[in-house]
Structure 1
Amino acid sequence: MHVSTAPLVPDRPRAIVIGAGVAGLAAALRLARGGMQVTLLERHAHAGGKIRTLPSAAGPVDAGPTVLTLRHVFDELFAAAGAQLDDHVTLIPQGILARHFWPDGSRLDLHADAEASRAAIADFAGPQAADDFARFHARTATLFKAFDIPMMQAPAPRLGALVPYVLRQPRLIRAMAPLSTLNQSLARQFSDPRLAQLFGRYATYVGGAPHLSPAILSLIWQAEAAGVWVVKGGMHKLAEAMAKLAQKAGVEIRHRAHVDEIRVTGGRATGVTIGETTLEADAILYAGDPRALATGSMGAALKVVAPQTRSLPRSFSARVHSFAATPQGVDLTHHNVFFGADPDREFRDLAAGRLPPDPTLYLCAEDRGQTTAPPPLERFEMISNAPATETETPPKDLDQWHHQIMQKIADMGLAFTPTPPASTMTTPQHFASLFPQTLGALYGQTPHGLTAALRRPTAQTPIKGLWLAGGGTHPGAGVPMATLSARHAAEAILRAQTSTSMSAPTATPGGMSTG
């Protein structure tokens, strides 16, 4: 077990954070800055969770999230730690958000500047399509602004509070299209079906299908429209910076520390066991998929936590290639999307638990979009949506499916030298093994249904002293949302510690401060 040590301070309240993904790192940092003595436990040999890398001939290649959006979330986190984000990572803004390719040979770039996107769409599909986009952009901006504070920024949003909020704004109801799926709404908004296909794929950012997801998920576009940044060196550099900052704040990070049980005594979480070792704590934050607690895998007493995760459908997973090669053919940018010919069939197959024969492929050219020209041997991550699976048994179709995908890319004008082998792929079965009790799902429970966001677990649990954070917890999946969940949980823990200290005259607050 690798241990990053920090001195013990007996009079400071102790917190244990389980899981060193972005949520665990962000929460540990906030708790330490708030005056707590924090131990961060991670079962793997690295911090970052799903921000992970695999080796390649060109160096570490990302095998998880690829870019940073909603930068202000991280600016605020680093500022709360008395630091500046730009002093710890190099962020490169992207003028082109993504380049999109269709089987008919058409191509479209979307830009960080909305007017540039509108002009590109006019050239791509005509003035009517450009006007459609302008209206869509304005409508989703209204949605994002309206729901940022009462949903994403709220620790525990409630339907009873949201309904009156929405009813007071008829314009907001029209923008939400509450009786429509995302597919239905986009079909009405775009005269060109290729644009409906393009913006429908944003449902996959939270592991859903556009024909089953609520129309309100169109607001995800605004997270990208607000800016996309490439982290120089790869997204794992962000996780490394967060870990170093947490250690500087006094967080003890233990790698290869698999928690066997969260101990509950008298209805309160009191500590954790790692093999034959027991660690006690005043507060415990679980920063993994809450389904692991609901299934009782860390103790039968925890089954009361997030019980809905045992029965609600899981989000999609993915097959992810991570490799180094020299590309030939179509010009690439950092983000590239190669669409399938029939999106309806693609998502019907995924929803039914089948791999689509002609999937949309997302290709991240990790060395593009930098301040320098890409090297001869570049790093790539290629993602295809796949159903989550309950089994950890390796699939039998990998070689055949891999050949099929490489042929699809070749048919769309792109080849790689050397051709990456199937062994460069991470499958849903691998994800299920890496992250136990997730069933291989990458985004927690499914986003399907109008009230899906309100069914996610929040930071507070029925067990005193135990809180939740992460992509499976409110406000949802994705690096920025998981980081927001960490803020919600850390603030709740610090409030609880302050309340306990104030109600117990003999307790020592330990310099509690939100920093």
Structure 2
Amino acid sequence: MARVVVIGAGMGGLASAARLAALGHRVTVAEQAGTHGGKLGTLRRDGFTFDTGPSLLTLPDVYRDLFAATGAPLDDVVDVVPVDPVCHYRFPDGTELDLPHAADEVPAALAEVFGERAARQWQAVMVDAAHLWDLVGEPVLQRPLGGVGDLVRRSASVRDLLAIAPWRTLRSLGRRRLADPRLRMLLDRYATYSGSDPRRIPALMSVVPFVEQRFGGWYVRGGLRVLCDALADRCRALGVGFRFHARVAGIDSDASGVTGVRLADGEPLPADLVVSDVDAEHLYHDLLPGRATSRARRALRRVRPSLSGFVMLLALRGRTPAPRHHRVLFPADYDAEFDAVFGRAPQPVPDPTVYVCAPDDPTVAPDGDEAWFVLVNAPRHGPVDWTAPGLADDYADRVLRILADRGLDVRDRVRWRELRTPADWERDTGSVGGSIYGSSSNGPRAALLRPGNAGPVRGLYLVGGSAHPGGGLPLVAMSAAIVAGLVGPA
């Protein structure tokens, strides 16, 4: 039995704690905040309940496997329901598309809006993406990856490597394969699922829309925070100890490997193994600096952090006609958005894509009212000072005007609103600059060669969005499964 300290109680940390405890290890989770969840937070006020982080679950079987491996099945403890349509899209010319939950219904929906030729082109891209998923879904995303050599060895042939084509971008794929600019915009949208720029992210990421269409989009009744609470409960049932308001100031090690962690108040927590669910940049620069991690720091300097997000939580009176669980309202100039976020002079996006999550769930709002989560992509805190007086409120007013211009005017329905800026994400979750996904996937190395799950010091392991295989609810749970496999049973 090993003594394990998990740094951070985000979904990756909780999943690691549950798996390692189920394997017989003695696990303690040290979390700087007062509760578990990390970016998967919640706000409750006046009968309204908001998820403040992810609002869509893809690949639910990843969590079914996690719960099956650690105790009672997932569907015994939470109600996972399909989102249909997965998303309602509004394009700059006013065209609207409902993307169905069922994969076999997608071609007809696309043909009805964009025409048969466009639908065939999209499906051809998805057929190729299915092949890519076969190449990376299990061989790469669900196994440890130690570098380029591992990637090459897991490709059965040169033809497989050419199919992955890490030098080709998602944007170039759309230009080559999709004649309709609206479909190209739809494809570009999936780069933001990893907080990235479609002009820089590898075309391999076409697997993201394939996964969403093949496996569907899902919601947990009561909000995705319910999934997080169920996982924390599973940890406690397995004997995991939690230390909240316990900020880790450093990781201790000697010639044999890690020996524990030090809390900010000086208290040591001895450990044989340490699992880090914090941003890799914070881990290697602040918690474990020194010669042993210098190579890891150099690698991180070549990687761009992911974008962040500006969020409005809107308590709305009344109901919206033709409600949709998810809406995406595109701007006229999508490239200007990525220039504002990733360019040399970052700024709040003047005319952003607006994402709205409005669950049709009676448990999250008073009868007859709605709880809206509104997100726009944003540059990190630091390059932009999101604490500047008046900036957040002025920008929120701007986003509400943009919503009205795009057909969703709710300004006279707002009972109250709460705002979350990149500065808030940094303060509350410890993510550098408030980066939602840790590292972006801008470039082949960032997309395919994130920091490995086995750290450069013996006994150190990494999970979460900045480690392999990446950010998002399914991937951080995959990273936890990888770590559990590397550690093994007690």
Q: Is TM-score (shorter-chain normalized) higher than 0.5?
A: yes
Output the CA distance in 2 between the equivalents of 1:413 and 1:50. 30
Partner of 2:419: 425
Output the CA distance in 2 between the equivalents of 1:378 and 1:330. 12
Among 318, 321, 331, which residue is 1:340 paired with? Answer: 331
Query: Which AA in structure 1 matches 2:451?
Result: P
- Asked if residue 32 in structure 1 is aligned to residue 9 in structure 2, the reply is no
Among 127, 147, 169, which residue is 1:138 paired with? Answer: 127
- 1:310, CA displacement in angstroms? 4.4
Partner of 1:454: 448
- 1:437, CA displacement in angstroms? 5.6
Partner of 1:509: none
Change (3 A) 1:174 1:38: closer
Output the CA distance in 2 between the equivalents of 1:350 and 1:326. 33
List per-residue Cα deviations over 1:435-476 (Å, max 9, x = no partner): 336122111122111232333111111212221111110000
List per-residue Cα deviations over 1:155-187 (Å, max 9, x = no partner): 1253224336557263x5665454432111112
Output the CA distance in 1 between the equivalents of 2:284 and 2:83. 40
Partner of 1:202: 190
Query: Which AA in structure 2 matches 1:314?
Result: P
Cα pair 2:223 2:364 within 8 Å, conserved: no
List per-residue Cα deviations over 1:297-350 (Å, max 9, x = no partner): 466577447312245221111101122213666523111111111112222222
Which deviates more from structure 2 when the two are superposed, residues 416-425 or residues 38-47? 416-425
- 1:288, CA displacement in angstroms? 1.2
Which deviates more from structure 2 when the two are superposed, residues 298-307 or residues 93-102? 298-307
- 1:276, CA displacement in angstroms? 3.4
1:72-221 paired onto structure 2 within 5 Å: 72-163=61-152, 166=155, 168=157, 170=159, 172=160, 175-221=163-209
Output the CA distance in 1 between the equivalents of 2:292 and 2:249. 13
- Asked if residue 382 in structure 1 is aligned to residue 374 in structure 2, the reply is yes
Partner of 1:477: 471
- Asked if residue 363 in structure 1 is aligned to residue 356 in structure 2, the reply is yes
Partner of 2:274: 284
Cα pair 2:42 2:52 within 8 Å, conserved: yes
Cα pair 2:39 2:425 within 8 Å, conserved: no
C-alpha RMSD over aligned residues: 2.4
List per-residue Cα deviations over 1:25-55 (Å, max 9, x = no partner): 1111111111111111111111111100123
Change (3 A) 1:412 1:467: same
Question: Which TM-score applies when normalising by structure 1?
Answer: 0.88
Partner of 2:260: 271
Change (3 A) 1:377 1:329: closer
1:56-75 paired onto structure 2 within 5 Å: 56-75=45-64
Q: What 5-or-longer segments of structure 1 have no aligned partner?
A: 1-11, 496-511
Output the CA distance in 2 between the equivalents of 1:494 and 1:219. 30
Cα pair 2:439 2:465 within 8 Å, conserved: no
Cα pair 1:56 1:323 within 8 Å, conserved: no
- 1:477, CA displacement in angstroms? 0.6
Partner of 1:442: 436
Number of residue-to-residue matches in the alignment: 483
- 1:417, CA displacement in angstroms? 5.7
Q: What SS does the corresponding residue of 1:51 show, helix, strand or coil?
A: coil
1:242-261 paired onto structure 2 within 5 Å: 242-261=231-250
List per-residue Cα deviations over 1:117-147 (Å, max 9, x = no partner): 1111111011111111221221111111221
Percent identity of equivalent pairs: 34
Query: Which AA in structure 2 matches 1:447?
Result: S
Cα pair 1:103 1:339 within 8 Å, conserved: yes
Change (3 A) 1:168 1:206: same
Change (3 A) 1:373 1:325: closer
Cα pair 2:47 2:364 within 8 Å, conserved: no
Cα pair 2:50 2:364 within 8 Å, conserved: no
Change (3 A) 1:336 1:267: same
Q: What SS does the corresponding residue of 1:136 show, helix, strand or coil?
A: helix
- 1:83, CA displacement in angstroms? 1.5
Change (3 A) 1:433 1:373: closer
Partner of 1:18: 7
Partner of 1:324: 315
Query: Which AA in structure 2 matches 1:158?
Result: G
Cα pair 1:140 1:175 within 8 Å, conserved: no
- 1:152, CA displacement in angstroms? 0.2
Query: Which AA in structure 2 matches 1:333?
Result: R
Question: Which TM-score applies when normalising by structure 2?
Answer: 0.92
List per-residue Cα deviations over 1:401-454 (Å, max 9, x = no partner): 222211111112212265559961211111122233612211112211123233
- 1:197, CA displacement in angstroms? 0.2
Output the CA distance in 2 between the equivalents of 1:437 and 1:385. 16
Partner of 1:231: 220
Partner of 1:498: none
Output the CA distance in 1 between the equivalents of 2:407 and 2:57. 28
Output the CA distance in 2 between the equivalents of 1:235 and 1:125. 33
Query: Which AA in structure 1 matches 2:279?
Result: D
Output the CA distance in 2 between the equivalents of 1:209 and 1:183. 9
Cα pair 1:329 1:415 within 8 Å, conserved: no
Q: What SS does the corresponding residue of 2:423 show, helix, strand or coil?
A: helix
Cα pair 1:326 1:417 within 8 Å, conserved: no
Which deviates more from structure 2 when the two are superposed, residues 178-187 or residues 377-386? 178-187
Query: Which AA in structure 1 matches 2:267?
Result: T
Output the CA distance in 2 between the equivalents of 1:372 and 1:458. 38
Query: Which AA in structure 1 matches 2:482?
Result: H
Output the CA distance in 2 between the equivalents of 1:462 and 1:400. 45
Query: Which AA in structure 2 matches 1:19?
Result: G
Cα pair 2:145 2:449 within 8 Å, conserved: no
Output the CA distance in 2 between the equivalents of 1:446 and 1:398. 24
Output the CA distance in 1 between the equivalents of 2:326 and 2:78. 20
Q: What 5-or-longer segments of structure 2 have no aligned partner?
A: none
- Asked if residue 399 in structure 1 is aligned to residue 384 in structure 2, the reply is no
Change (3 A) 1:284 1:173: closer
Which deviates more from structure 2 when the two are superposed, residues 241-250 or residues 299-308? 299-308
Query: Which AA in structure 2 matches 1:86?
Result: D
Change (3 A) 1:176 1:276: closer
